[in-house]
């Protein structure tokens, strides 16, 4: 029995060597479209002269939404260049899916590999300053395993601190992810491009802030997911502009420039949700009102959707007069969720 098990293990290892997969990654989330469909990219290298690459999807245990597929041809001999291939597997929104990929020579299967969890759902890039990053207390972790973070290379459970965001504390995003998964039944991914203590002018294309190129990093975060690969940018920033006495017009025009540049670089119109976030304990109300008005102008002009309004979260919601405690993070997440529900007309069970 031991000898037989060794032979089987050796065959499995040989099959894996004959077919290596670079995409999809484990826990990867692909953005669904307006028809609640998505396309999973399947790419890799097949050895031993495979002439057909096929893939199929099965719903993983715990999935509440999705539609399994039979074997689908994703690459043929004409599309396999020296063993390298790239194809597409269309899927209905949902998951997790277990994805199986196999290489065939004629009717013979020469190798097969699988990825346990891949989803079609929503991808968000978060940006702004500290309340968009890891300055809340305590750290948060999503309750549902369909909420993930992307660190630029791999996907992992949404457990703070969120990669890419400054600070080492907690954020709003795992809580928001749980809300979305519960309402929509699809996996959710967050990628952070946030940095503390920034004014909107620091995010302008070509501007270097300290050692950071904030716009370039934001564009890279969005661009990594490909064309139409991001549901929206969730922007929470403005406290520093209140301290800087930024006018409403300056704030609106500055962020408009960022949004337009990103659309051009991304190659599609990336939706933005802009929060009303102007409160700082060291700023004066007239200064905060100007920044809030600038954020409202972006909504009114149709440049961005209305995001979370957090100016009304007083000191009982804050751990250090600025950043959010558990109560504040919970309320912040609910405000973001309400903004998404309003815009996308999601049905939410009461």
> Mind listing the pLDDT tens digit for each residue in 5-23?
222 233 344 445 689 999 9
Q: What pLDDT score does 47 carry?
A: 83
Residue 15: CB atoms within 10 A of its CB come to 16
- Mean pLDDT throughout 220-233? 98
Q: Does domain 2-119 have CATH number 2.20.28?
A: no
**Which burial class, exposed, middle or buried, applies to 349 when counting CB atoms under 10 A from its CB (0-12, 13-18, 19+)?**
exposed
Beta bridge partners of 234: 126, 273
- How far is residue 23's CA from residue 41's CA, in Å, rounded to a whole number? 6
Confidence of residue 350 (pLDDT cuts 50, 70, 90): low
**Which burial class, exposed, middle or buried, applies to 314 when counting CB atoms under 10 A from its CB (0-12, 13-18, 19+)?**
exposed
111: left (phi over 0), alpha (psi -120 to 50) or beta: beta
Beta bridge partners of 30: 120
Short-list 104, 163, 159, 107, CA closest to 133: 163
pLDDT above 70 coverage of the chain, percent:
95
Confidence of residue 339 (pLDDT cuts 50, 70, 90): very high
> Mind listing the pLDDT tens digit for each residue in 30-83?
999 999 999 999 999 998 789 999 999 999 999 999 999 999 999 998 888 889
Q: What pLDDT score does 146 carry?
A: 98
* Chain mean pLDDT for the chain: 94
Measure the N-to-C terminal CA separation of the chain; round to a whole number of Å: 56
Contact indicator for 172, 136 with CB cutoff of 8 Å: yes
* Largest interatomic CA distance in the chain: 79
pLDDT above 90 coverage of the chain, percent:
90
> Taking the domains of the chain in order of start, what are their residue ranges?
2-119, 121-344
> pTM above 0.75?
yes
> Mind listing the pLDDT tens digit for each residue in 139-181?
999 999 999 999 999 999 999 999 999 999 999 999 999 999 9
Instruction: Assign a CATH topology to domain 121-344.
Output: Rossmann fold (3.40.50)
Beta bridge partners of 159: 141
pLDDT score of 329 more than 50: yes
């Amino acid at each position: 029995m031991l000898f037989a098990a060794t032979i089987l293990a050796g065959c499995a290892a040989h099959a894996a060597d004959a077919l290596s997969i670079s995409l999809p990654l484990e826990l990867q989330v692909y953005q669904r479209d307006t028809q609640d469909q998505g396309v999973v990219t399947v790419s890799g290298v097949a050895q031993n002269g495979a002439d057909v690459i096929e893939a199929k999807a099965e719903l993983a245990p715990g999935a509440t939404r999705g539609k399994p597929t039979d074997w689908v041809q994703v690459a043929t001999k004409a599309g396999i260049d020296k063993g390298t291939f790239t194809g597409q597997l269309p899927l209905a929104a949902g998951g997790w899916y277990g994805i199986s990929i196999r290489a065939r020579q004629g009717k013979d299967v020469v190798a097969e590999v699988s990825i346990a969890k891949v989803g079609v759902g929503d991808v968000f890039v978060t940006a702004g300053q500290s309340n968009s990053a890891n300055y809340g207390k305590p750290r948060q972790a999503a309750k549902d395993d369909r909420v993930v973070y992307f660190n630029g290379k791999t996907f992992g459970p949404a457990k703070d601190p969120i990669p890419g965001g400054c600070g080492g504390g907690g954020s709003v995003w795992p809580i928001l992810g749980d809300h979305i998964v519960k309402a929509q039944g699809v996996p959710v991914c967050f990628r952070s491009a946030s940095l503390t203590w920034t004014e909107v002018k620091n995010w302008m294309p070509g501007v270097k802030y300290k050692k950071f190129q904030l716009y370039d990093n934001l564009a890279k975060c969005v661009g990594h997911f490909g064309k139409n690969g991001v549901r929206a940018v969730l922007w929470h920033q403005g406290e520093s502009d209140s301290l800087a006495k930024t006018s409403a017009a300056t704030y609106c025009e500055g962020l408009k420039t960022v949004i337009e540049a990103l659309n051009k670089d991304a190659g599609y119109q990336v939706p933005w949700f802009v929060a009303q976030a102007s409160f700082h304990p060291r700023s004066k109300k007239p200064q905060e009102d100007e920044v809030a008005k600038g954020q409202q102008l972006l909504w009114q002009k149709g440049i961005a959707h209305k995001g979370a309004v957090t100016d009304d979260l007083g000191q009982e919601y804050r751990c250090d007069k600025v950043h959010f405690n558990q109560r504040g993070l919970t309320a912040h997440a609910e405000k973001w969720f309400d903004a998404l529900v309003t815009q996308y007309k999601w049905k939410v069970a009461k």
